[in-house]
Amino acid sequence: MNGDTWAIGDLQGCLDCLLRLLPQLPGEARLWMPGDLVNRGPRSLDSLRWAMAQGERLAVVLGNHDLHLLAVAAGIRRAHRTDTLGDILAAPDRDALIDWVRSRPLAHFEHGWLMVHAGVLPQWSVERTLELADEVHRMLAGPRWLDFLREMYGNEPAEWSDSLRGHDRLRVVVNALTRIRFCTPAGRMDFAAKEGLDHAPAGYLPWFEVPGRASAGTPIVFGHWAALGFMDRPDLLAIDTGCVWGRELTAARLSDRTVRRVQCS
């Protein structure tokens, strides 16, 4: 039941903070994590191993840093200077870890809640979001996953069309679910602005404030937007409170929005 389900913000390898937060939650609680399990924090490898060990207790979706791990592991992208993925890439269980990551979904729906890493485009209903996320999931989990990763990066097309096919189609889905912050009412995404609500580019809105958004009415839990901080609205739960930046790691119970936090360093 969702009374026992707690959403926890972007971990990004900060496992020590999580291990201080978990004792504040019921021992039998189901855990939801909206992506970015790894990278930039000090314990990316241990974070992945912890997540794998949770089994059915943990529902997790992929974030942009998790996808970056896959691309670096495949030799498709170079590691960034600030990455903390080396321990994963050198681990003896590297292949099992990578296979576990690429088999995770990009959207999860349960108990009337939708979980994604970043957001959804305004013209997508919850049902459509799940369908499109599953297209990417099947590609990543399948035998052609390396071909997909080679074509995954890029900012174009920047908006959805039902006529999109092939890699362009999947790229828009990935960008919406793992990178979106601001978009136009027509759903054209901006990928440059990363600050708070008052830094929207001209003509753009936070994705969740677009009038007539097709997913409105279904509560959505997401991370990704650390500058946004914790936001609790009737159909919205923003849960990335900047743990990796020395702020807080936050958990919120889906049934009543009870909040637990720990300070991170």
Instruction: Write the pLDDT tens digit of every residue in 147-196.
Output: 999 999 999 999 999 999 999 999 999 999 999 999 999 999 999 999 99
pLDDT at 265: 83
Domain of 83?
Answer: 2-263
CA-based nearest residue to 64, from 75, 51, 77, 55: 77
CATH number for the domain that contains residue 165? 3.60.21.10
Burial class (CB in 10 A: 0-12, 13-18, 19+), 29: middle
Q: Which single residue is written with the structure tokens 């828009």?
A: 172
pLDDT tens for 201-224 read 999 999 999 999 999 999 999 999
pLDDT tens for 114-156 read 999 999 999 999 999 999 999 999 999 999 999 999 999 999 9
The stretch 234-263 carries a mean pLDDT of 97
Q: How many domains does the chain have?
A: 1
> In whole angstroms, what is the distance from residue 263 CA to residue 243 CA?
8
pLDDT at 3: 61
The stretch 22-29 carries a mean pLDDT of 94
pLDDT at 2: 52
pLDDT at 207: 98
Q: Are 207 and 178 in contact (CB under 8 A)?
A: no
pLDDT at 261: 97
> In whole angstroms, what is the distance from residue 254 CA to residue 109 CA?
13
